[in-house]
A = this chain, B = another copy of it.
């Protein structure tokens, strides 16, 4: 027998009990992992992470209500000695990926990932390296290759809200901006996407999977 190394201590943050149970089942079956705690809300995940005792946090992006996963990620990684945060979500839009990386996520996985890929990513994250799902990595490469039409993070935020049906006034309030700024972002978005209206911008962005639907 070799001496077992210290196990990787995990915190699961997802609002779906079934998903938490699934992650627990999959990861506990893996040697070297220990699921220490679960959080059903992003807020709770931040609390628990602040208390310490974790190596890796598995974080969903969409919680039913309250704080968003990327906000929680930012709050967690702001700490010194913070655990590594691994995003585990259903969607792979540019907007989501950029927000998560920006917030300090160590990796980005999709929920349809097979267990081995999941386990490998957790190990990678625990070692302090970046872990991107192949599909996600591919999107990022695409983005690099065509810098002309790459929307900035802020532009994607605005576009996302346009896609949800908000007016410029509503967007300006949501993002604490003036309407002038929202319009300004939209002008840039239209130019980059080669369109001339909000609805066609949403159509183009949806087709290119820039925003989530």
Contacts and interface: CB of A to CB of B under 8 A. Distances in A.
A151 B106 CA distance: 45
A17 B197 contact: no
A153 to B, nearest CB: 21
- Interface size on A, as a range, is 35 or more
A204 B166 CA distance: 11
A91 to B, nearest CB: 11
A213 interface: yes
A197 B165 contact: yes
Interface string A36-78: 0000000000000000000000000000100000000000000
Nearest to A112: B16
Interface stretch (A19-27, A97-105, A138-146): A19-27
Contact of A197 (B25, B112, B113, B167): B167
Contact of A21 (B25, B165, B199): B25
Residues of A contacting B: mostly: helix
Contact of A163 (B25, B198, B203): B203
11 contacts: A15-B112, A17-B113, A17-B114, A18-B22, A18-B26, A21-B26, A22-B22, A164-B200, A165-B202, A198-B199, A202-B202
A203 B18 contact: no
